[in-house]
Amino acid sequence: MSGQNPDNPAAQPALAEASRSGEFDLIARYFAPLAGPGAFGLGDDAAVVTPGAGRQLVFTADAIIAGVHFLTDDPADDVAAKLLAVNLSDVAAMGAAGLGYLVTAAWPRDLEEAWIARFAQGLAEAQAEHGVALLGGDTVATNGPMSLSLTAIGEQPIGAALRRNGARVGDDIYVSGRIGDAGVGLRILRDGLTGGAPAERQMAIDRYRRPRPQLGLGRALPGLASACIDVSDGLIADLGHLAEQSGAAMRIDLEKVPVSPLADLIGGTAAAIVAGDDYELLFTAAPADEQRLGEAAAQSETDITPIGRVEPGQGVSVVDGDGEVVALKEAGYRHF
């Protein structure tokens, strides 16, 4: 986790109540304790990681921006946990195990040190839960909104990577967990959405702030799933990526999709399947592998549900219980 030149005042983070003693002290105080093997206590310019024999590394990176991907008043530890989880979700979608990560933080200059301390604590909790460790990164100051970027590294047997382009006509389409919880949680926090039991409302908020990457299920899917992606921008939007990369059509039965018990608060199942931030796994598999998939799901303690079929053609279609096509106003979250 490199830093700017401490002898150059213009390069100093100048965080209120934070870096009076310099950026490197912040790194030593809050992030060096999170360093894993090969990171050299974050004292060098880079980490050294050697995969095991017959293993390959998997890399992914995602950034989250205050006011765009998380709310500006979200707790710092939740922000840290989400930053790590959304990246490890991509590792899970490749069928890999998490190995480590690098994080780059652009802190607003008026940020208080207490926020950074709580952020580091959230990283510590999340990395312990998911079995990974910090390998490095960078910290800088910004006059703009907080920007946090994380690169996750996974490991798996050579040739085991799940891709988006392997879905075959006749395959079943599966999704893990439940869809729409995070979308409800966001609406509760951002828009003051009312309704629902208190326990279900809190669950939805937790799903938005602290998604859980399906690493266990992901590691069980190589050799079973023909294509896989995680649900980040919305089930329909992400299914569209599978359809495009696989050169096939995806048909979803709306009534089969497992959705949040509070989905009606945001417009029902049709709204839930275009909400984002679920970070469940969406994958295709041959009907002959249904039993083996059920065993893999049970072993990873994850629910999976068949929700549709891969067909000849292109694109994604959604049908209701009568087989009629359901018109959707949008497919999911758009970054641009």
Please name every residue paired with 107 in a beta bridge, in sequence order, or none if there are none.
141
Mean pLDDT, all residues of the chain = 91
Please name every residue paired with 317 in a beta bridge, in sequence order, or none if there are none.
251
**9: pLDDT confidence band, cut at 50, 70 and 90?**
very low
* Amino acid in position 1: M
* 329 vs 305, more confident: 305
**17: pLDDT confidence band, cut at 50, 70 and 90?**
very low
> Could you write out the DSSP letters of every residue in 269-320?
HHHHTT------EEEEE-GGGHHHHHHHHHHTT--EEEEEEEESSSEEEEE-
Is the pLDDT reported for residue 22 higher than 80? no
Residue 2: the pLDDT is 45
What is the spatial distance between Cα 234 and Cα 122, in angstroms, rounded to a whole number?
A: 26
How many C-beta neighbours within 10 Å does residue 107 have?
24
Asked if 254 and 269 count as a contact pair (C-beta separation under 8 A), the reply is yes
- Tell me which residue has tokens 């266990």: 216
pLDDT by residue (tens digit) across 207-218?
999 999 999 999
* 250 vs 332, more confident: 250
Asked if 84 and 209 count as a contact pair (C-beta separation under 8 A), the reply is no
**29: pLDDT confidence band, cut at 50, 70 and 90?**
confident
pLDDT by residue (tens digit) across 256-275?
999 999 999 999 999 999 99
pLDDT by residue (tens digit) across 135-177?
999 998 999 899 999 999 999 999 999 999 999 999 999 999 9
What is the spatial distance between Cα 51 and Cα 156, in angstroms, rounded to a whole number?
A: 9
Residue 15: the pLDDT is 58
Sorted by where each starts, the structural domains of the chain and their CATH numbers stand as 9-157 (3.30.1330.10), 172-319 (3.90.650.10)
Residue 85: the pLDDT is 97
What is the spatial distance between Cα 77 and Cα 106, in angstroms, rounded to a whole number?
A: 16
* Mean pLDDT score, 54-72: 94
What is the spatial distance between Cα 147 and Cα 324, in angstroms, rounded to a whole number?
A: 43
Rounded to the nearest 5 percent, the helix, strand and coil shares of the chain are 35, 25, 40
pLDDT by residue (tens digit) across 78-104?
999 999 999 999 999 999 999 999 999
Asked if 232 and 147 count as a contact pair (C-beta separation under 8 A), the reply is no
